[in-house]
Amino acid sequence: MIGSRAAVSELAAVSELVADVDQRLVLTYASLAVVRGRFRRCPDAAQTRACEVVEAQLDELLDLRLALTCPPEPSAARP
């Protein structure tokens, strides 16, 4: 019984993390739309860099969400 409580608690914590990452993904994607709009109006080095930064943030969040929601492959767990 204690083990199942720990598993439920861990699952709840992961669910909260996934929900937080999802919210951050929505906000970051909206930011990307804004910086891409600025780039279309004024394609300069600063706008290019801003797009790259937001795209990198989005990539990191997507990788984090994947890590939280997909179990590791058995071969990847072994050295």
CATH of the domain at 63: 1.20.58
Domain count, the chain: 1
In this predicted model, what pLDDT tens digit does every residue of 3-52 receive, in sequence order?
Answer: 677 666 777 788 899 999 999 999 999 999 999 999 999 999 999 999 99
76, pLDDT greater than 60 = no
What is the predicted pLDDT for the residue at 73?
A: 75
Give the pair of three-digit tokens for residue 49: 């860099």
What is the predicted pLDDT for the residue at 7?
A: 67
Q: Could you give phi then psi for residue 72, rounded to 5 degrees?
A: -65, 150
Q: Give me the domain span that covers residue 47.
A: 2-69
User: Whole-model pTM above 0.85?
Assistant: no
Quick check: is 15 in a domain? yes
What is the predicted pLDDT for the residue at 24?
A: 97
**Spatial separation of the C-alpha atoms in residues 22 and 17, rounded to whole Å:** 8
